[in-house]
Amino acid sequence: MSQYRPLSAIVLAAGEGTRMRSGLPKVLHPLCGRPMLLHVMDALVALPLERIVVVVGHGAESVAKTLQERLVTEMPVEIVEQRVRLGTGDAASVALTAKGFDDDGEDDLLVVAGDTPLLRPETLAALAREHRASDAAVTLLSAVSDPTGYGRVVRDEQGRVARIVEHADASDAERAITEWNTSIYCFRRGLLAPALRRLQPQNAQREVYLTDAIGVLRDAGHQVSALAAEDPGEPVGINDRAQLASAEAVLRRRINTAWMREGVGITDPERTYIDASVEIEPDASVLPGSILAGRTVVARGAVIGPDTQLVDCIVGEGAVVRQSVAEEAEIGDGATVGPFAHLRPGTRLGARARIGNFVETKNAELGDGAKANHLTYLGDVEVGERANIGAGTITANYDGKDKHRTRIGRGARIGSNTVLRAPVEVGEDAVTGAGAVVTRDVPPGATAKGVPARVDEREPGEQEG
């Protein structure tokens, strides 16, 4: 009979992952812009858990820092370290020393590997329900597919789970079994601790396997259950970069499908890359070859792409960004960017501003309706509303030692091939002639022309004598 018990979780994230051939801890390798461990944590925090305990080992400091800085949850999360890595059974024993686990243990405990980023909360919830319904000491999540490399689920004559045998320790007959253990479990915590104390490292790796607790509990007369995953690809662990790429493709399809169901237009999902942390409003469109990464936010009606990369950008309502790259930039409502533009960090475009082909900006603010349509570099600059920047304009912002700012006033017109040597200010409605090298401030309404530029401060409409 199903019985409610509090539910907590252990995440085993201490492994080195030598097959990744990387100095980065395996569980920190990113998928869709998020470390694989955080995908696992996201699935867990979606459940009504009492607490989560994460066991770290290899790269403990960086793994712990990632959890502390990037995991957003009000659920209690404790990090414990497995200082000597003696296997998954030992890691589970270390986890049980965490705060909040009393001696009675009248609760249930999910045990999940930190390298299973495709896990869904619905699958973990189903595992917990099956565990309670069967009143088992342990319920394991199994899968039926190619079992190569995984522990086999060995059943008795009645079809009940008898034990798990690891691939390296399996006989030929056992390796022929197609039901494999995903290393994801739901235990009665009060029964897990004494079972772990009985484990011995009698295997090829000389480690204490958590899987051996299955046989210990069954031999003690306890019920052992199994739930087969509906999708055998979901609980697969990531051990090398080829598997990492395969998992990323699955996550990318999930993300794109979810956004399309929310009203986002994606014309070619197979060529569209959207990080898990991106936010998109309905009626936005993402065209083929586009990459939306980091904390990018795209407003309603915006069009991104084709062949565009946005990293940590904010794109306003109805804006268009075509065949361009932008990082840490804000693009205002109705603004247009590209093709072939590069917005570097600190760029802020006002409403209806225009950045055209082969224009680069850095730490640049363009007011509403300002335009730089061709072949221009705007670095460390403030451009006023409706100012027009001619083709080939350069803000010479670096003197070899320090960066300096340029200010271009509202309604100013900067002639083609103008060089603005910062620090310099061009006033409202001022004009620079084609090819001018501006080294001094230009007053409002004045004209600067020549090399170096001379300022003509005649009143508008005044004729030469």
pLDDT at 447 (0 to 100): 97
**Is residue 344 helix, strand or coil?**
coil
**CA–CA dist 440, 136 (Å, integer):** 82
pLDDT number for residue 463: 41
Where helices occur in 198-240 by DSSP H, the ranges are 212-219
Mean model confidence pLDDT for the chain: 93
Q: pLDDT (tens digit, 9 = 90+) per residue, 127-143?
A: 999 999 999 999 999 99
Query: Where do runs of H (alpha helix) occur along 114-268?
Result: 121-134, 172-175, 189-197, 212-219, 241-261
> pTM of this prediction?
0.90
Architecture of domain 7-241: Alpha-Beta Complex (3.90)
User: What stretches in the chain show pLDDT beneath 70?
Assistant: 1-3, 103-104, 202-205, 457-465
Residues carrying CATH 2.160.10.10, the chain: 263-456
pLDDT of res. 160: 87
- How much is the pLDDT for 3? 62
The residue to which tokens 């705060």 are assigned? 99
CATH code of the domain made up of 263-456: 2.160.10.10
Sign of the CA dihedral running 148, 149, 155, 157:
positive
Q: Are 341 and 356 in contact (CB under 8 A)?
A: yes
Q: State how far the Cα of 340 lies from the Cα of 361, in Å rounded to an integer.
A: 12
- How far apart CA 131 and CA 138 sit, in angstroms, is 7
CB 186 within 8 A of CB 131: yes
- Residue 113 makes CB contacts below 8 A (sequence gap 6+) with 11, 12, 13, 40, 183, 184, 237
Q: Nearest-CA neighbor of 378 among 358, 391, 393?
A: 393
Q: Give CA 103 to chain center in angstroms.
A: 38
Minimal CA–CA distance to 12: which of 31, 25, 30?
25
Tens-digit pLDDT profile for residues 399-436: 889 999 999 999 999 999 999 999 999 999 999 999 99
Q: Where in the chain is the domain with CATH 3.90.550.10?
A: 7-241
Task: Render pLDDT for 371-400 as a digit per residue (tens, 0 to 9).
Answer: 999 999 999 999 999 999 999 999 999 888
State how far the Cα of 349 lies from the Cα of 333, in Å rounded to an integer: 9
The catalytic residue positions are 374
DSSP 58-77: TBHHHHHHHHHHH---SS-E
Q: What is residue 166's predicted lDDT score, i.e. its pLDDT?
A: 83
Cα dihedral: 357, 359, 362, 368 (round 10):
-70
φ, ψ of residue 191 in degrees (nearest 5):
-95, -20
pLDDT of residue 5: 86
CA dist., res. 120 & res. 304, Å (int): 29
Q: Quote the percentage of the chain above a pLDDT of 70.
A: 96
Q: How far is the C-alpha of 9 from the C-alpha of 45, rounded, in Å?
A: 10
pLDDT for res 205: 64
